[in-house]
Amino acid sequence: MIIRKERVNDFLNGLRAGYRLYAPVQTQAGPVFAPVNGATGWSWPAGNTLKSAKEVFLPQTETLFTYRTSLDGVQVEEARVEGRVVLLGVRPCDARSLTMLDKVFAGEGVRDPYYTARRENTVVLGLACNEPCGTCFCTSLGGSPFGTAGCDLLWVDLGDRYLVRVLTDRGKALVEGRPEFAPAGDADLAAARELEEGALGRMGTVPVQGVKEKLDRLFADPLWDRVYEKCLGCGTCTYLCPTCHCFDLTDEVIDGLGVRLRTWDACMYPLFTLHASGHNPRPTQKERFRQRIMHKFKYFVDNFRETACVGCGRCIRYCPVNIDIRAVLAEISAG
Amino acid sequence: MKNPYLPLPMRIEKITVETEDRSLRTFSLSFLNRADAEAFGFVPGQFAEVHVFGQGEAPFGIASSPLVRDRVEFTVNRIPGGVVTTALHNAREGDIVGLRGPLGNGYPVQEFEGKDVVIIGGGFAFTTLRSLTWYILANRERFGKLTVLYGAREPGLLLYKDELAAWQKRDDLELILTVDRGREGWQGKVGVVPAILKEAAPSAANAYAVVCGPPIMIRFTLPVLQELGFPPERVIMSLEMRMKCGLGMCGRCNIGHKYVCKDGPVFTLAELSELPAEY
Ligand SMILES: Cc1cc2nc3c(=O)[nH]c(=O)nc-3n(C[C@H](O)[C@H](O)[C@H](O)COP(=O)(O)OP(=O)(O)OC[C@H]3O[C@@H](n4cnc5c(N)ncnc54)[C@H](O)[C@@H]3O)c2cc1C
Ligand code: SF4
Ligand code: SF4
Ligand code: FES
């Protein structure tokens, strides 16, 4: 389907009756996903958002439940997940990362009710990348700047209009019968194809072939002594990564009301694994750095037959000491 | 969908100071809701998160017998500076706490059936081994010979002293108690666990060994088990890692591709040798 750019506002305003809208909003630090009131206050990001779309499903901080204790019991109130959401402007790498987080939080076995409810309530409106950034390498990892995994709709910017690919029933329900949309013609499809080929042609590549098999036997390799050295353990790479999902659980008491909180945490921090006895199974930054790489490129593959990196390049762009995961991967595949 | 983060409300019915240095207390918890008590069942070796409201949660191995349905017991070592263990040690009988569980896999008790079981414990890690011993005693005819070897630094640091005295009198288990340093009136052995194990030399034919204790004890016990002929598939251990969710999601207890909270905490020595030694 096709929607002309001047009709997008009408479409979004029409959605407001049934959905809350989340879109990239500019902040001092960079664009992040936040609730918006329809047409204004947000923009499609050039490149990608600073924090990934995972934040909408696994917020950086969230209340799981509150409680009040008394002499003879405790009253627990579960936090409710807000109603239906349309999430705008998700790049294909971030959308694909959701399918990986699904395996952790909404897979076989015990499910996380908060994450699962948000996934069920949220329509993901993807935005294809006509201009991949210099740090993007999604195609090396099975993704694509026009990839559709995790999207309900994929929008392709054709200049004065968007081509809208309908991918799921949920996506279909959003656009079906809406007057802002018209059927796509051959010229629209051809224009999109040309953009896709252009984007694919400009995409950087990283040698990742055989990385998993290499890692199977590189745990004790001296390689790790070299690659981690500059790392400050700041955790930026893990917080910004769309597939990292470690968290902490803590209690706070506010005016007698107990609050059970979940907050992002990271394997890059020394306290993450510190035992109460004082023993730490990952005592230095070397072991922590290795854990981050091993988890994405080996352990996750062992468990789910998929690499837990979508090649979004955030960890490369925002690392304060310029550690480049592409170089680490190159070194592993050469090792 | 059942919310796995919500605690069951429990009352602390009884607090027992276990050791002379008062660093270990056993908390006997009862369910506030009958339905919770009826739904709660566990396998020895499983653990639970105990929630001290306003302070936080910490994982503890379930120390009571699975056949006792209305109580759940934990024996807690107070960690200096530790938030939850200190709060528990300051708690009083009648206080309300939360419980999330049972979590983890537990000991492979079905595989133990028809076999001899050698239980080897050191220090305060004897908690889930107590649960296992009660389970075997309650289903005695399903298992072969039961040997329990339990050691502590000194007699005053042994847990569950009354129960040990009662077990001592039974003829359906062999209980061997040992301490590093004896004192007047001490009737048990004197010597470290690995040495006493070597001396007792339980038969490895058709037997499982279950080992829980401080890292140093484990390190010297494993070679003795090997010498006695226990294959790594029949040596059972329980791991401790820092934990939060207990559900395989928060990432904290990850070792290799396993999550100790979900895939463990019980592993065979053979399974552990496949994992990176990051614990
Ligand atoms: C499966 C399993 C079973 C267990 N069974 C038992 C059992 O039966 N009995 C038992 O007693 N224990 C058991 N444990 C261990 C028990 O869970 C820990 O002792 C407990 O979690 C400590 O909690 P805490 O809140 O008291 O300590 P915490 O407050 O979490 O802190 C403990 C220590 O961590 C460090 N630390 C934490 N936060 C910080 C910080 N911000 N800055 C610096 N240092 C910090 C400090 O060294 C501190 O002393 C078990 C653990 C597992 C995983
Ligand atoms: S590891 Fe880096 S490139 Fe890969 S998904 Fe995470 S932030 Fe993006
Ligand atoms: S962003 Fe860079 S310095 Fe910070 S933890 Fe990650 S690799 Fe280390
Ligand atoms: S404790 Fe959260 S993954 Fe094991």
Over residues B236-257, the mean pLDDT reads 96
- pLDDT, tens only, B269-279: 999 999 998 88
In this complex, do A247 and B251 lie within 8 Å of one another by their Cβ atoms? yes
Residues 6+ apart with CB under 8 A from A333: A207, A208, A209, A210, A211, A214
pLDDT (tens digit per residue) in B54-76 = 999 999 999 999 999 899 999 99
pLDDT given at position B106: 97
Asked if the model's pLDDT at residue B235 lies above 90, the reply is yes
Q: Which of B15, B132, B9, B139 is nearest to B73 (CA)?
A: B15
Is the pLDDT assigned to residue A244 strictly greater than 80? yes
Q: Residue A41 — very low, low, confident or very high, per pLDDT cuts 50/70/90?
A: confident
Is B57 close to A281, i.e. CB distance below 8 A? no
pLDDT of residue A42: 80
3-state secondary structure of B117: strand
Task: Give mean pLDDT, residues B162-178.
Answer: 95
Buried b (16+ CB within 10 A) or exposed e, A319-328: beeebbbbeb
Cα A215 from Cα A307, distance rounded (Å): 12
Single out the residue of B121, B104, B106, B131 nearest to residue B209, CA to CA.
B121
Mean pLDDT of chain B: 95
Query: Looking at residue A82, what is its pLDDT?
Result: 84
Interface check B274 vs A, CB under 8 A: no
The interface pTM score, or ipTM, of the predicted complex is 0.93
Residue A226 has pLDDT above 80, yes or no: yes
pLDDT-above-90 percentage for chain B: 92
Ligand nearest to the CA of B87: 1
Q: Give me the pLDDT at residue A265, please.
A: 97
Q: Which residues in chain A are contacts of B262 at CB distance < 8 A?
A: 109
Between the alpha carbon of residue A87 and those of residues A52, A54, A80, the distances in Å are 12, 11, 19
Which pair of tokens denotes residue B182?
């004896």
The pLDDT value given to residue A63? 97
Q: Indicate the domain borders of chain A.
A: 2-201, 211-334
Return the pLDDT at A162. Answer: 96
Q: Rounded to a whole number, what is the distance in Å from the CA of A193 to chain B's nearest CA?
A: 39
Facing B1 at nearest CB: one of A67, A104, A113: A113
- pLDDT for the residue numbered B45: 98
Distance between CA atoms of residues A19 and A87, nearest Å: 10
CA B102 to chain CA centroid, Å, is 13
What's residue A290's pLDDT?
97
Q: Enumerate residues lining ligand 2, CB below 6 A.
A: A 240-243, 296, 309-315, 325
What pLDDT sits at residue A188?
A: 96
Q: What is the pLDDT of residue B172?
A: 95
Residues of B in contact with A272 (CB under 8 A): 242, 252
- Any idea which of A44-58, A155-169, B196-210 has the lowest mean pLDDT? A44-58
> Whose atoms come closest to the Cα of B259: which ligand?
4
pLDDT tier at A38, thresholds 50, 70, 90? confident
User: Mean pLDDT throughout A203-212?
Assistant: 89
pLDDT number for residue B278? 87
Cβ A247–B257 below 8 Å, yes or no? no
Chain centroid, CA A291 distance in Å: 19
Distance CA A245, CA A44 (A): 25
Mean pLDDT over all residues of chain A? 94
Rounded CA-CA distance B98/B81 in Å is 21
CB contact under 8 A, A275 and B242: yes
- Region A116-143: mean pLDDT is 95
Residue A16: what pLDDT?
87
Give the range among A274-278, A293-297, B238-242, B265-269 with minimum mean pLDDT: A274-278
User: So what's the pLDDT on residue B20?
Assistant: 85
Pick from B53, B245, B279: CB nearest A67 = B53
Predicted local distance difference test score (pLDDT) of residue B176: 96
Q: Please, what are the domains in chain B?
A: 8-103 (2.40.30.10), 109-238 (3.40.50.80)
With an 8 Å Cβ cutoff, are A78 and B3 in contact? Answer: yes
Dump pLDDT digits (tens) for B3-27: 999 999 999 999 999 998 889 999 9
Give CA angle at B160 (B156, B165), nearest 5°: 90
Mean pLDDT of A275-279: 86
Q: For residue B70, how far is its CA from the centre of ligand 3 (angstroms)?
A: 49
Alpha carbon distance A56, A33 (integer Å): 7
Q: What is the pLDDT of residues A88-100, one digit of tens each?
A: 999 999 999 999 9
Q: Flag the least confident range among A203-207, A242-246, B31-35, B248-252.
A: A203-207
**B86-130: per-residue pLDDT in tens?**
999 999 999 999 999 999 999 999 999 999 999 999 999 999 999
Joined together, the tokens standing for residue A119 give: 């996934």
Check whether B259 has a pLDDT greater than 90: yes
* Other residues' Cβ atoms within 10 Å of the Cβ of residue B205: 10
How many Å is the maximal CA-CA distance in chain B? 58
Confidence class for position A46, pLDDT limits 50, 70, 90: confident
Kindly identify which residue of chain A lies nearest to residue B95, measuring between CA atoms.
Answer: A71
Please list every residue in chain A whose beta carbon sits closer than 8 Å to the beta carbon of residue B8: none
